[in-house]
Chains A and B, each alone.
Chain A
Amino acid sequence: MAMYINQELCISCYACEQECPTKAIKFSNRKFEIDLRLCVECEGFYEEQQCVAICPIDGCILKLEELQLVFWKIYRN
């Protein structure tokens, strides 16, 4: 389980990076990425995923499995 940032939508505002309780979000090569090994989807910390709750762009940060579902639907059609 982990969160994923859609690079096409991200505006690089740093908001998620500051809120992440496990410091899983890093800025490198001019983009923000979530370290799959560190992200726990805020379980044990907060009720909501902090990155999603503060992100100004709808649909920019998704759960990895949600993303997989999206890809799977595209593939099936």
Chain B
Amino acid sequence: MSGCHSKRCGIGNDELDFLPENIRKKVENHPCYSQEAHHFYARMHVAVAPACNIQCHYCNRKYDCANESRPGVVSELLTPEEAVKKVLAVAMTIPQMTVVGIAGPGDPLANPDRTFRTFELIKESAPDIKLCLSTNGLKLIDYIKKIKELDVDHVTITINAVSPETASKIYPWIFYNHKRYRGLEAAKILLERQYEGLQACVENGILVKVNTVFVPEINGEEIEELSKKVRKLGAFLHNIMPYVEGDGTAFQKMGIKPPTPQQLKEVQEKSESHMSLMRHCRQCRADAVGLLGEDRGQEFTKDKISKLEIRYDPEFRRAVHESIEKEREKLKKAKALLFTNTKEENDITVLVAVASKGGMLVNEHFGTAKEFLIYEVSSAGIKFIHHRKVTPYCHGSISCLDGSDILEDTISKLSDCKAIIAAKIGFEPRDVLEPKGIQCVDEFAYLPIPEALAKYYEKYVLNKETVGV
């Protein structure tokens, strides 16, 4: 990989434009690897891998909440056979689902039999579905051959440090070669195995994305170096994710704080000069189903699937994908006409929050939005920064915050944005948001996001009345 990693060169503006044609083909319909694809294509994780071989300070395996089917909740665990049935059911109900991943709830490669059996069965019954794997990397080198054999061509390795000293603050122990290792010794083995695994994947033509959990006071100083290192070893995408505080985790007990959106943005900007970044990750659960921003897992519980009669129809899926591709092509062409792609002097750059529920459209109301997509807009074009999760304003009763507290919380999360663009914004939030200097714009409802941003920029930032699109 070489050349310009700035997202501002090139009209396509998708992170993947710099990739060689053959690799781009592999990832262009993968919602986790292509920022643009994630507006159109869905993914699912099948929870077949409960065992784990390391302990991370940000993870609590005991955690069990009625609304969350995270690690250890056995009722949601699937056998390989159940997993395939679920995959086929989702594939026919949500035909835009192109990717099945195994990400836990433990580590896939600490459950090799269940993991590979699941991949084998999916490959047999739905060969058009892409397979991926997300691992801590400890056992990766041991299974490279198997991974390649099964055409699992996307592997994500979570690497959180460059130095063993830093790694030892994140991992209290690992289980390796029939032994529990602790402290620096464990950290050294794990890092070595992770980087060797990364290299082995690259040598075997397997695409590698590296995930890093950004914990400011623990590994904040090492992230930039980590970006450089994984790029040098041949990873093609780096996903720097904010540490999410989990109940009962060691980090929570130590009082370690998650990064603010601004801290995350800063660290991403530093790394971006070295390495292509994934910015649209939603840190989904090990059993998530649907577009990245949504989770439709509840529609596909074991109980519901067991009653289904499924006929897998690849032709139907192909037709759906074709119409998505036509739509994408149209949007790409339209987008190319929107911006001048040249940075003008005294150019104004603004951050804008957009409410969308998919399809790359402004199609979500302010009050029901669970997240906002943050874009940086200038006359040169738009650049996706990241998403920010919020509590929907219209569901005041579901949490301990009441309506105005929720609004305060949303405002604090969007305080650096110049405007919110949504399909609808009510009078009440408007009256609170606008005095704080956040414009509320709903006149571009249902337009594609790039077009809405271009029109907003012309009209409200450059103060021109007409837009030549």
Note whether A and B form a binding pair: yes
A interface residues, Cβ below 8 angstroms from B: 9, 11-15, 18-19, 30, 46-48, 50, 53-54, 56-57
* Contact in complex: A54, B71 (CB < 8 Å): no
Q: Which of A12, A14, A19, A54 has the most CB of B within 10 A?
A: A54
Q: Using A13-B61, A47-B178, A50-B178 as known contacts, list a sample of 15 further A-B pairs with CB atoms less than 8 Å apart, ordered by residue number in A.
A: A11-B71, A12-B72, A12-B77, A13-B51, A13-B105, A14-B51, A15-B50, A15-B51, A18-B111, A18-B113, A47-B179, A48-B178, A56-B52, A56-B61, A57-B61
B interface residues, Cβ below 8 angstroms from A: 50-53, 55, 61-62, 64, 71-72, 74, 77, 105-106, 110-111, 113, 175, 178-180
The distance in angstroms between the C-alpha atoms of A13 and B74, with both chains bound, is: 8
Contacts of B111 in A (CB 8 A): 14, 18
Q: Which of B64, B74, B77 has the most CB of A within 10 A?
A: B74
DSSP majority for the A interface? loop
Q: Which of A19, A46, A53 has the most CB of B within 10 A?
A: A53
Contacts of A50 in B (CB 8 A): 178
Contacts of A47 in B (CB 8 A): 178-179
- List the 7 shortest-distance A-B pairs measured between CB atoms, nearest first: A11-B72, A15-B51, A53-B180, A56-B61, A13-B50, A54-B175, A12-B74
* Contact in complex: A53, B61 (CB < 8 Å): no
Chain A to chain B contacts (Cβ below 8 Å), 25 pairs: A11-B61, A11-B72, A12-B50, A12-B72, A12-B74, A13-B50, A13-B61, A13-B72, A13-B105, A14-B111, A15-B53, A18-B51, A18-B110, A18-B113, A19-B178, A30-B74, A46-B178, A46-B179, A47-B178, A48-B178, A53-B180, A54-B51, A56-B55, A56-B61, A57-B62
* Contact in complex: A13, B106 (CB < 8 Å): yes
The distance in angstroms between the C-alpha atoms of A9 and B62, with both chains bound, is: 8
* Contact in complex: A11, B53 (CB < 8 Å): no
The distance in angstroms between the C-alpha atoms of A12 and B180, with both chains bound, is: 20
Contacts of A15 in B (CB 8 A): 50-53, 106, 110
Given A54-B53, A56-B55, A57-B62: A13 in contact with B180 (beta carbons within 8 A) = no
The distance in angstroms between the C-alpha atoms of A57 and B71, with both chains bound, is: 12
Contacts of B105 in A (CB 8 A): 13
Contacting A13 at CB < 8 Å: which of B52, B113, B175, B179?
B52
